[in-house]
Amino acid sequence: MKKILREVRFHGRGGQGAVVLAQLTAKAAFMEGKWPQAMAFFGAERRGAPVEAFSRISDKEILIRSKVYEPDYVVVLDHSLLEVLNVIDGLKEGGGLLVNSVEKPKLPESFSKRKNRLYFVDATDIALELNLIVAGQPVVNTVMLGGFAKATGEIKLQSAERAVRQEWPGEIGELNSKAVRLGYDRLATD
Burial class (CB in 10 A: 0-12, 13-18, 19+), 86: exposed
Closest CA to 55 of 149, 128, 169, 173: 149
> Consecutive sets of 10 residues in the chain, 190 residues long: mean pLDDT of each?
84 89 97 94 70 94 91 95 90 93 83 84 96 90 97 96 95 95 94
**DSSP letter, residue 18:** H
Give me the number of domains the chain comprises: 1
In 10 A of CB 169, how many CB atoms?
Answer: 9
Specify which residues 98 forms β-bridges with: 75, 119
pLDDT at position 106 = 83
State pLDDT tens for residues 62-110.
998 889 999 999 999 999 998 888 899 999 999 999 999 988 888 877 7
Q: Cα–Cα distance between 127 and 78 in angstroms, integer?
A: 13
8 Å CB contact between 141 and 175: no
8 Å CB contact between 118 and 52: no
CATH number of the domain within which 135 lies: 3.40.920.10
pLDDT at position 50 = 83
Containing structural domain, residue 181: 5-189
pLDDT at position 136 = 85
pLDDT at position 152 = 96
Helices (H), 7-103: 18-31
